[in-house]
Amino acid sequence: MFLPLPSPGALTIEPLFPVALGQVQLHPDPLELAGQLQALLALRGEAESNPDPGCAWTGDLNGVWQLHHHATFSPLIAELTNHVRSYLDQLGFDPRKLTLHLQRCWPVLSEPTQVVGRHHHPNAHLSAIYYLSGDGSGRSGCLRLWPLRQVNELVAGLGVGHGGPLTPTPWTRPWLDVAPRTGLLVVFPSCIDHAVLPNDDPDALRCSLSLDFVLTAPPMGEGQASPEYLAPHPSHWLAIPEDGYPPA
Ligand SMILES: [Fe+2]
């Protein structure tokens, strides 16, 4: 693949390897949304943090990570997965040659001042976040995404250097913030570091669902080769019992 030749004249810059952030704004039914929020509060129960009072409550650490099997959420999650398929299509994945698995789906509830620290999801290939609250202002806590490495800052750390000679531009920004908005779905590679900034709205609970996806090969017939690099479909895997295999 070759770069197009530049026009004569001034120097131009081409984006070489952009990270694909998928976004779609959905329009949830207010009654369904209210039911979902009520269900999430019931699932959280008495807890309000993770358990550090400054950390948002996240279902994955509290046994609530299979919302896709929950009647209140499964229709919504089916709709979300259709958009995730569109993301894969646009990246160029052939849906006939892979199986998309939803591995887990959990809520994140962030009370005023709470955060989620910087992390990524090494267990997954593709992650998505759906917002059940937020007005687009970012007040309840933006999602912050970091590049794997900001090579355009040229000198490591200069993009956030205080008083440094580098003015942030789209070419050198050290991170990107996404403001939550009710009904917004974002999709990004699971290797991307991200965090949730403090909820600065004293009156609002910040609510979102996180989804982790894994790509494998589709189920294969006897003698068919599974594509290199892609894990075979889990239906071909063998779980090894704790006391060894074959079982005594
Ligand atoms: Fe996350």
Instruction: Report the CATH number that the domain containing residue 59 is assigned in CATH.
Output: 2.60.120.620
Question: Span 131-136, mean pLDDT?
Answer: 98
Tell me, in angstroms, the distance from the centre of ligand 1 to residue 14's CA: 30
Question: At 77, which amino acid appears?
Answer: I
Predicted pLDDT of residue 16 = 93
- Which pLDDT tens digit goes with each residue over 178-218? 999 999 999 999 999 999 999 999 999 999 999 999 999 99
**Pairing mode of beta strands 126-131, 116-119:** unpaired
pLDDT at position 247, please?
Answer: 61
The SS3 assignment for 6 reads: coil
The predicted structure's pLDDT at residue 248: 57
Q: What is the mean pLDDT of residues 63-72?
A: 96
Tell me how far apart the alpha carbons of residues 134 and 179 are, in angstroms, rounded to a whole number.
8
Query: Is 2 part of any domain?
Result: no
Structural domains counted in the chain:
1
**5, part of any domain:** no
Instruction: Assign 55 a pLDDT band (cuts: 50, 70, 90).
Output: very high
> Residue 8 domain-assigned?
no
Distance 196 CA to ligand 1 centre (A): 8
Task: Give which of 109, 132, 102 is closest to 212, Cα–Cα.
Answer: 102
Q: Is residue 233 part of a domain?
A: no
For 100-127, b/e burial (b = at least 16 CB within 10 A) is bbbbbbbbbbbbeebbbeeebbeebbbb
How many A from CA of 242 to the centre of ligand 1? 31
Q: Is 194 contained in some domain?
A: yes
Closest CA to 79 of 183, 178, 181: 183
Residue 67 in any domain: the answer is: yes
At 37, the pLDDT band (50, 70, 90 cuts) reads very high
Distance 195 CA to ligand 1 centre (A): 7
Structure tokens at 137: 């202002």
Residue 85 lies in a domain: yes
Q: Report, as an integer, the average pLDDT of 64-69.
A: 96
Q: How far is the CA of 163 from the centre of ligand 1 (A)?
A: 31
Domain holding 94, by residue range, is 22-217
Question: Considering the domain boundaries, does residue 169 fall inside one?
Answer: yes
What share of the chain in percent tops pLDDT 90?
A: 83
